[in-house]
């Protein structure tokens, strides 16, 4: 952990308070994109006196909510602030949080990560230091990056954070012959999947999945929003009455035929002689989509794996045996983490663990 002079708190206390800030930040999952999840804890004489997190995009940031939570504002000049991301230094939907901390002359600021957004990128830290406030950065930095892996990927790789997801039988099949759909994972996995949908910006399938599974790709079994639906349908073969085109949820169809807006559906025409996946991923980046779940079939999943356009894979494994069927994708990566969920196993893979 980075060191600073004259620490008034023990290393154990510093880590404990930052862990609390990270817990608070997680409460904003699914509600703050394209902003990052941020938590803030204010400590006076070793005791937490204020807490806050960024609760919804466009609303007050974590630092503002934490300051507002402090009953006696006169103690802020003797307090230490723990925040999971560098305080912003620019006017966006709200005023700069760095200015707020300077205004109250806080004693010290501990930070998980510097902000990768060029609008901030060190400017918030410099503003604090210029005002004579001591800043210690890099506290639990790996945890902070994991929390905001979507945000960091968006700015560092100039694309969404891409999550591949599928369910496979014990003999590694994802569908019956001729792409006939079959429910492989259990009911608990379906609820977990809808929680995932509530936390990510978009979800994508290809033509075959839309045709044979007729998925809604919405969030019905968890609280929160439904993601933007992304469909790859080059020749517009999917019928207008398919569930993926149901009203009330933004949908983008990437195709070779037309450019149009019809209700909640945006038909996005792919330019001729253009690599489809590269165009699609870049277009989603331009549309400020920070995370993408891919629930497509074997062809789409394998295409993304082959071109290294993925960050995380979530694979549900069932004890079911299908025999003949469509083979599951192969990941040449070790399992990053796994857990038992009922009679299924959820395996997590990382492209760069």
Query: Is the pLDDT assigned to residue 3 strictly greater than 60?
Result: no
Task: For 79-111, give one letter per residue: b (16+ CB within 10 A) or e.
Answer: bbbbbbbbbbbeeeebebbbbbbbebebbbbbb
**Does 142 qualify as catalytic in the annotation?**
no
Rounded-to-integer distance, Cα 252 and Cα 228, Å:
8
Question: CA 184, 175, 351, 220: dihedral to nearest 10 degrees?
Answer: -50
Query: Is the pLDDT assigned to residue 287 strictly greater than 60?
Result: yes
151-208: pLDDT as tens digits: 999 999 999 999 999 999 999 999 888 878 788 888 899 899 999 999 999 999 999 9
pLDDT given for residue 151 in this prediction: 97
Catalytic position from the list 63, 199, 200, 312: 63
Give me the chain's average pLDDT, please: 93
339 sits in which H/E element: strand 337-341
The conformation of residue 342, written as its DSSP 8-state character, comes to: T
Q: Residue 121 is encoded by which pair of tokens? A: 């990128």
Rounded-to-integer distance, Cα 55 and Cα 25, Å:
8
215: closest CA among 257, 169, 166? Answer: 166
Query: Is the pLDDT assigned to residue 7 strictly greater than 70?
Result: no
Query: Is the pLDDT assigned to residue 353 strictly greater than 90?
Result: no
Query: Is the pLDDT assigned to residue 2 strictly greater than 50?
Result: no
pLDDT given for residue 180 in this prediction: 80
Residue 182 vs residues 212, 322, 342: alpha-carbon distances, Å: 10, 10, 19
Task: For 262-290, give one letter per residue: b (16+ CB within 10 A) or e.
Answer: eeebbbbebeeeeeebeebbeebeeeebb
Strand arrangement of the beta sheet that strand 337-341 belongs to = 260-262, 265-269, 251-255, 228-232, 202-206, 291-294, 161-168, 312-317, 344-350, 337-341
Q: Residue 138 is encoded by which pair of tokens? A: 């890099």
Query: Is the pLDDT assigned to residue 92 strictly greater than 70?
Result: no
3 state DSSP class of 48: strand
CB distance 313 to 348 below 8 Å: yes
Full-model pTM = 0.92
229-246: pLDDT as tens digits: 999 999 999 999 999 999
Residue 321 vs residues 170, 213, 302: alpha-carbon distances, Å: 6, 20, 22
pLDDT given for residue 5 in this prediction: 42
Pairing of strands 265-269, 108-113: unpaired
| List of domains in the chain | 11-153 (3.40.140.10), 159-350 (3.40.430.10)
298-346: pLDDT as tens digits: 999 999 999 999 999 999 999 999 988 999 999 999 999 999 998 999 9
350 sits in which H/E element: strand 344-350
Rounded-to-integer distance, Cα 23 and Cα 326, Å:
41
Q: Which residues contact 259 (CB under 8 A, 6 or more apart)?
A: 267, 268, 269
Q: What sign has the CA pseudo-torsion 161, 251, 212, 167?
A: positive
């Amino acid at each position: 952990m980075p060191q600073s002079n004259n620490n008034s708190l023990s290393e154990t206390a510093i880590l404990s308070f930052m862990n609390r800030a990270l817990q608070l930040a997680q409460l904003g999952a699914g509600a703050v994109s394209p902003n990052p999840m941020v938590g803030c804890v204010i400590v006076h004489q070793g005791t937490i006196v204020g807490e806050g997190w960024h609760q919804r995009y466009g609303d007050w940031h974590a630092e503002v909510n934490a300051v507002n939570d402090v009953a006696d504002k006169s103690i802020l000049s003797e307090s230490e602030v723990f925040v999971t991301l560098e305080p912003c230094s620019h006017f966006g939907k709200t005023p700069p949080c760095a200015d707020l901390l300077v205004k109250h002359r806080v004693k010290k600021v501990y930070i998980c990560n510097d902000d990768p957004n060029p609008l901030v990128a060190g400017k918030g830290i410099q503003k604090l230091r210029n005002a004579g406030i001591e800043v210690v950065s890099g506290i639990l930095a790996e945890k902070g990056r994991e929390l905001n892996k979507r945000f960091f990927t968006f700015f560092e790789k100039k694309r969404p954070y891409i999550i591949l997801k599928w369910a496979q039988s014990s003999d590694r099949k994802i569908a019956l012959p001729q792409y006939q759909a079959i429910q492989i994972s259990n009911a608990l996995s379906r609820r977990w999947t809808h929680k995932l949908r509530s936390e990510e910006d978009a979800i994508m399938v290809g033509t075959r999945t839309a045709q044979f599974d007729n998925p809604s790709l919405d969030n019905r079994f968890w609280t929160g929003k439904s993601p933007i639906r992304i469909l790859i349908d080059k020749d517009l073969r999917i019928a207008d009455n398919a569930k993926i085109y149901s009203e009330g949820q933004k949908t983008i169809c990437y195709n070779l035929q037309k450019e149009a807006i019809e209700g909640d559906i945006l038909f996005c025409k792919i330019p001729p002689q253009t690599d489809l996946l590269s165009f699609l991923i870049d277009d989603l980046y331009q549309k400020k989509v920070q995370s993408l779940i891919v629930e497509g079939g074997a062809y789409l999943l394998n295409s993304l794996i082959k071109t290294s356009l993925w960050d995380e894979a979530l694979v549900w494994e069932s004890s079911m045996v299908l025999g003949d069927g469509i083979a599951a994708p192969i990941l040449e990566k070790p399992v990053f983490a796994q857990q038992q969920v009922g009679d299924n196993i959820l395996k997590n893979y990382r492209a760069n663990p």
